[in-house]
Amino acid sequence: ETVLRLAHASAPKSLINQAVQRFAAEVSEMTKGSVKVQIFPNAQLGDEGPIADGVGAGSIDIGLGGAVDAIDPRLNVLSLPFLFRDADNVHKFLDSAEGQKVQQFGQDRGYLMLGALDSGFRQFATNKPIAVPGDLAGVKIRTPPNPVILATMKQLGALAESIPFGQVYTALQSRVVAAVEPEMRDYYDSRWFEVAKNLSVSNYIWTANWWYMNKGKFAKLRPEEQAAVKKSAADTVAWYRGELSKTYAETQKKLEEKGVKVSTVNTTPFVALVAPVYTTFSREWGADLVTSVKQAASAN
Amino acid sequence: MTVAILIGSFSLMLLIGVPIAWCMGVASILAIYFGHLGLPLEWFAQETLRGADAISLAAIPLFLFAGELMNRGGLTVRIMRLAEHVFGRITGGLALVNVATALVYGGISGSATADTGAVGSIMIPEMAKRGYPKAFAAAVTAASGTLGIIGPQSVVLILYGVLTNTSIGGLLVAAILPGTFIAATFMITSYIVARRHGFPRNDAPVNWREIGRDALGALPALLMPALVLGSIIGGIATATEASALAVVYSFLVGIFVYRELPLRSLYSAAAAAAATTGVIMMIMALATPFAWILTVQQVPTDAAAWITGLHTSPLMTIVMVLLLLKVVGFWLDLGPALIILAPILVPIALDAGMTPYQTGIAFTMTLGIGLFTPPIGTNIFVVCNVAKIDMWSVSVWLVPYWIASVVCVAALVAFPWLNDGLPRLFGV
Amino acid sequence: MNQASLQTSPGGRGWIKLVFEFVGVMAFVIMFASTLLGVIARYFEFGGVEWSFEVASIAFIWITFVGVVNAEMRRENVAFEAINHASPPRIKAFFDAVAAAALLTMGMAFLFSGWAVWQRSWMVPTSVLRLPTGIITATVLVLGVSAVCMALSRLAGILATLRTHGGKAGAA
Ligand code: NA
Ligand code: NA
């Protein structure tokens, strides 16, 4: 019997955890119990960065998360601003030849990509709604320390602030920062809606919960076990995509019940401003990659 | 087996005097070597680094340094002169000042460890100078430092709100009354201890002119917590950044107002702050691989599942839940303990009839007691290092505070209005 | 307290102490300055210092690893010493030898494990400044080397004491 440790940073009740529980059940069923997946949710074994490190080294077998520098910084290419319109657009891209190519990254560092579960689109959450780029000018916005997000905020004229996750709530409360830019489910779970009551839906950046496995560990499985892992992961990705829009509708309803004003942003004037971000990262990841991803993303 | 090696070897090394940090590290190494966990070589360094990567604790060296600046720049001595007039007439008055200071800092930093460092570096030397046993001074500081996690910036309460989907605004308001209650209980405890041991008291006749002069002289120093707290409320700084402002303020007052701060001593003060931080953070860092093994071996989860299966009376369930938190609090830091146990234990506590705010505060307080309970009590490590004394001598003086804390937690469970009164009043 | 076990040449030890103390103070100053810079930049609303947070985080890790070496050199690492101090000299020497062995184990673990991390990922970029993470991993290696040296010097010291005193009481 092989036991695979799977770690992620989402809550036990989250859609991510439900997905990996289904995955674990299917793997166990397909291998008749010869492969067991043991799940560690809630960053019990560390945050997304340490999970990626752990899978690379082999202390964790399977991981999920958006921290990609250890795997391959080029995976950030899918998080370029306004690259995708909506979830359907993303999923079609991921299934395309170009999307499959991106999901081969990380092999030379010992990672095997099992798929990508949407971490989702990031939105603006502020005390007054964001409608035009001018509304962001000079606004102090807390962002995670991600180079693409930092570059995007600079282009949009906002002031990006780094504040540790645990202190963001009080920072919003005392107006140390005026805005955050979370994904909707994280906005609800972290309860930032209590202190930043406007959610401006812009889909400005899409991020993945990359789903990866230690390559050596995968190689040690028997061929039929390997097939079971891959098949179960593919089935789980499909299931997750099916549940996604329902989850977002529910989350939005819960937020509105709590008094959050949800508005939709016309993104056209924003898109015009972020072109330099593409130029910057073309230099870092290769212009070929950025161009071909951009083309494939707008092709569907 | 793995867990037995882990905890057994830790305890043996601890008893013969191996530094705590190395006890945890070597125990983890032995556990993975003999426990056949099949971990890669990188694991140990990776996990230690993960534990050390905790910038929200940067307030520890900054507050330690600010405390040293206050001591060397004449701020502490002026505050103490005034405190002598006001509280010195009560037996054990400085112990009460210690608790009150911790309550103020608790409002600032939100980290019990940073608070303990701040208060300890100021109060322990002063109390020792005025005839209190050093170990007692250290013990009061370790216990009252816990107030930091029930204060309005509490990182622990915010984490609890996120983990259990409880209103954070409500939790922070709910914590005001229990925080004050605990502070009062610690003050009463200190008073009783002081009376029993006959600690010093200021018996000089009251001289109002002298009091007025000393109050005026202490004013710039007393403004320091007010300004730092103001910088947080006013939206200028986060809790961590505020500790940097505390450094700036005490530096300016020491140089320009009191003109007593010898610039040459800044270097050694910074070196001392770095060394103390190293000791505390290395324990935190090495607790991470240690906790990793416990987590992967499912120790906390199994224990929680066991309680769920007991089906006893509500009161018994609550007692069991709190006891489990306590036992886990021996070995894990607050954050990891909450992350692993809250999702399992909170529903049990709610089923047993506790209210959400009550559960949050009782859980936080129960884990908080772990901060000043050996073997792994971060607050104890801070005061031992600041006061340069042994863990054993502090622990002896901590006994009354353990009893006081248990009384507090019992009161929090017995009287829900202590927690729910204020939130209801404010409608949060 | 345990003078006999620190028997490196005073000149050499003093020099090393000063270097570690200096690195600790530098890390502290860098962390303090970049934290302050972050506050100032936000207050006066200028951008371009998004890296200050990362610099503070890295400096904080250096404070921890260098600080603990300083504390260990000064014998100020927190321990539970009641039983050790109450023990007769021979047993105390044995306990001290175990403690030194524990330090040696830690040093080796940090060295080997840290080196493995270094080899696999020293060039992985940090999130904002895109510096090699080697500048963080190096802290583990520094602590590893220091711990091994301190442990060996202490073990030598304990042996020398036992030999000089021929096992008679009165050591340390
Ligand atoms: Na803490
Ligand atoms: Na403890």
Q: C87 CB contacts (<8 Å, ≥6 apart)?
A: C95
d(CA B340, CA B303): 11
- pLDDT tens readout for residues B185-202: 999 999 999 999 999 888
Residue C29 lies in a domain: yes
Q: In chain A, whose CA is at the least distance from the CA of B54?
A: A164
Closest alpha carbon to B21 in C118, C71, A247, C91 = C71
- In B144-163, the residues whose Cβ lies within 8 Å of chain A are 152-153, 155, 158-159, 161-163
In this structure, is residue C165 part of a structural domain? Answer: yes
Closest to B318 in 3D by CA, of B334, B328, B307 = B307
A198-214 vs A62-65, strand pairing mode: antiparallel
Show residues of chain A in contact with C38, CB under 8 Å: 161-162
Distance B372 CA to ligand 2 centre (A): 6
**Average pLDDT over every residue of B26-37:** 90
Pairwise CB contact (< 8 Å): B42 & C116 = yes
Q: Could you read off the pLDDT of B82-113 as tens digits, one per residue?
A: 888 888 889 999 999 999 888 888 777 667 88
Please, where are the H alpha helices in C44-88? 52-73, 82-86
Q: How many domains does chain C have?
A: 2
Four-point Cα dihedral A247, A248, A249, A250, nearest 10 = 50
Residue (of A183, A156, A185, A143) closest to A81 by Cα position: A156
Decide if B240 contacts B232 (C-beta within 8 A). Answer: no
Q: Where is the domain boundary, C56, C74, C92?
A: C74
Query: Mean of the pLDDT values across residues B23-50?
Result: 93
User: Is C109 touching B (CB cutoff 8 A)?
Assistant: yes
C101, two tokens: 């062995």
In a domain, C1, yes or no: no
* C38: nearest CB among B241, B278, B380: B241
Asked if C102 and C172 sit in the same domain, the reply is yes
Q: Which two tokens stand for residue A266?
A: 């016309």
Question: For residue C92, what pLDDT is reported?
Answer: 92
First to last CA, chain B: 48
Place of tokens 């004037």: A269
C-alpha to C-alpha distance for C9 and B253, rounded to whole angstroms: 42
Phi, psi of B37 (to 5 degrees): -85, -10
Closest by CA to A104, choosing from A90, A115, A96, is A115
| Residue B387: HSE in the Cβ half-sphere, 13 Å Cα cutoff | 32
* Partners of residue B380 in chain C, C-beta under 8 Å: 78
Same domain for C101 and C152, yes or no, is: yes
Cα B97 to middle of ligand 1, angstroms: 23
pLDDT category at A54 given cuts 50, 70, 90 is very high
> Does residue C4 surpass a pLDDT of 90?
no
Percent of chain B with pLDDT over 90: 47
Instruction: Tell me which of A6-20, B315-329, C130-144 is least confident.
Output: B315-329
Neighbours of chain A (3+ CB pairs under 8 A): B, C
Question: Residues near A101 by Cβ (< 8 Å), separated by ≥ 6?
Answer: none
Tally of CB atoms within 10 A around A206: 25
Q: Which residues surround ligand 2, an ion (CB under 5 A)?
A: B 330, 370, 373, 376-377
For residue C172, pLDDT beyond 50: no
From C21, C52, C74, give the residue that closes a domain: C74
As given in the structure block, the two tokens for residue A18 are 């439900």
* C24 lies in some domain: yes
Task: Compute how many other C-beta atoms are within 10 angstroms of the C-beta atom of residue B319.
Answer: 15
Rounded average pLDDT over C140-169: 87
Q: With cut-offs at 50, 70 and 90, classify the pLDDT of residue A118.
A: very high
B312 C-alpha to center of ligand 2: Å? 27
Q: How far is B268 from chain A (nearest CA, A)?
A: 30
Q: Do C50 and A162 touch (CB under 8 A)?
A: yes
- Domain assignment present for C2: no
Task: Say if residues A158 and A139 touch (Cβ distance below 8 Å).
Answer: yes
Mean pLDDT lowest for which of A137-151, B346-360, C156-170?
C156-170
Domain ranges of chain B: 1-39, 55-426
How many B×C Cβ pairs under 8 Å?
205
A179-180/A159-161 β-pairing = unpaired
Residues 51-90 of B with CB under 8 A from A: 55-56
Task: Give start and end residues of each alpha helix (H) in A107-222.
Answer: 147-156, 168-173, 184-189, 215-220
Task: Please give the Cα distance from A209 to A120 (Å, whole number).
Answer: 8
Q: For the residues C47-57, what does the mean pLDDT come to?
A: 93
C152 within some domain: yes
Question: Do B381 and C78 meet the contact criterion of CB atoms below 8 Å apart?
Answer: yes
B342: CB partners within 8 A, 6+ apart = B160, B163, B164, B363
**pLDDT at res. C165:** 67
**Mutate which: C124, C129, C140, vs A, most A CBs within 10 A:** C124
Q: Is the dihedral of CA B274, B275, B280, B281 positive or negative?
A: positive
The pLDDT assigned to C132 comes to 97
pLDDT single digits (tens) B287-330: 899 989 988 988 888 888 888 777 778 788 888 888 888 777 77
Across chain B, mean pLDDT equals 89
Could you give the CA distance from residue A231 to residue A76 in angstroms, rounded to a whole number? 26
What three-state secondary structure class fits B198? Answer: coil
Q: Peptide bond preceding B178: is omega within 30 degrees of 0, i.e. cis?
A: no
Q: What does the mean pLDDT of chain C come to?
A: 88
Return the structure tokens found at B355. 């209210």
Residue A114's pLDDT band, with cuts at 50, 70 and 90, is very high
Among candidate residues C34, C52, C74, the one where a domain is terminated:
C74
Residues C84 and C161 placed together within one structural domain of the fold: yes
> How many Å from the N-terminal Cα to the C-terminal Cα in chain A?
43
Do C86 and C165 reside in the same domain of the chain? yes
Q: Is A138 within 8 Å of A121 (Cβ atoms)?
A: no
**A268 Cβ contact list (under 8 Å, min separation 6):** none
Does residue C3 have a pLDDT over 50?
Answer: no
Q: Mapping DSSP to helix (H, G, I), strand (E, B) and coil, where does residue B165 land?
A: coil
- Considering only CB atoms, which chain C residues are within 8 Å of A53? 121
Which amino acid appears at position B219 of this protein? Answer: L
Q: Identify from A53, A71, A136, A159 which residue to disrupt to test chain C contact, counting C C-beta atoms within 10 A and taking the largest count.
A: A159
> 3-class secondary structure for A200-268?
EEEEEEEEEEEEEEEHHHHHHCCHHHHHHHHHHHHHHHHHHHHHHHHHHHHHHHHHHHCCCEEEECCCH
Query: Which ligand has the shortest distance to the CA of B284?
Result: 1
**Nearest-CB residue to A57 (from B42, B169, B237):** B42
Query: Per DSSP, what are the bridge partners of residue A161?
Result: A142
| Residue B38 C-alpha, separation from nearest chain C C-alpha, in angstroms | 14
Residue C3 lies in a domain: no
Query: C49: domain range?
Result: 9-74
How far is residue A183's CA from residue A15's CA, in Å, rounded to a whole number? 14
